[in-house]
Amino acid sequence: MTPRLLDLFSGAGGSAMGYHRAGFEVVGIDIAPQPHYPFEFHQADALEYLAEHGHEFDVIHASPPCQLYSVTRNASQKDDYPDLVAPTRNLLVASGKPWVIENVEGAPLIGSLLLCGTEFGLRAFDVDGEPLALRRHRLFESNVFLMGAGGCFHDTTIVAGVYGGSRHRTPAQRDAATRRGGYTPPTQIRAELMGIDWMTQYELSQAIPPAYTEFIGAQLMTALKVEA
């Protein structure tokens, strides 16, 4: 039987696709409609759904809202977002299931693993032929021991984020933006860097590359087989 994975705070399905590729049957939950989610989806409060249905799944993944911890938000904006990491963790622990919490750097995750696009060869060429590499750090906390992927490889290629608008910049503007922490390429190139071809520009800005959760999902699959 195919293991079932509950994808909480699912967004448009970046995490879900990675887990699917690792062999899971994925069900997504988000409080907002997600018309581009590629698998079974239910619009619902994630924590309420977890409390009621978590026992029906083999593994649970949660990506609580990250805006509170994001360095791209100012203090006044952060006041608008709830801190859901601890409530999510408490319910995951109570479920008794293998679980993973994903969030941005700065989030209060415990004993977390950091993954970066450069560890998975997520690269593309910009519109003028310049090589790009994806620097998109994400933390993963789990009650299953997770191996790392080898560490970031921020070499001499331009390191790109996928956060803001899609306006193309001149090479000089791009280099200056990279030195400040990340250049945002046009949407089509961001999609290529992320390994995602089904999302809008905004959905891409909120997503993580499927390569991350495919890597983690393979380890979860091994853990489930050991427990069986």
What does the pLDDT look like over 170-202, one tens digit per residue? 666 666 655 555 677 888 999 999 999 999 999
On average, the pLDDT of the chain sits at: 88
Q: pLDDT tens-digit profile of 149-161?
A: 999 888 777 777 7
Residue 111 has pLDDT above 80, yes or no: yes
What is the pLDDT averaged over residues 83-110? 96
Domain that holds residue 201: 4-227
Q: With a threshold of 0.75, does the pTM exceed it?
A: yes
Give the percent of the chain with pLDDT over 90.
Answer: 70
Q: pLDDT tens-digit profile of 37-87?
A: 999 999 999 999 999 999 999 999 999 997 665 554 444 454 566 789 999
pLDDT of residue 175: 66
Question: What distance in Å separates the CA atoms of residue 143 and residue 96, rounded to the nearest whole number?
Answer: 10
Domain count of the fold of the chain: 1
Question: What distance in Å separates the CA atoms of residue 50 and residue 92, rounded to the nearest whole number?
Answer: 8
Half-sphere exposure of 115 (CA within 13 A, CB side): 24
Q: Which residue, 163, 167, 216, 162, is CA-closest to 193?
A: 162
The CATH number assigned to the domain holding 176 equals: 3.40.50
pLDDT band at 215 (very low <50, low <70, confident <90, very high): very high
Sheet containing 138-142: give its strands across.
40-43, 25-30, 4-8, 59-62, 99-103, 138-142, 113-115
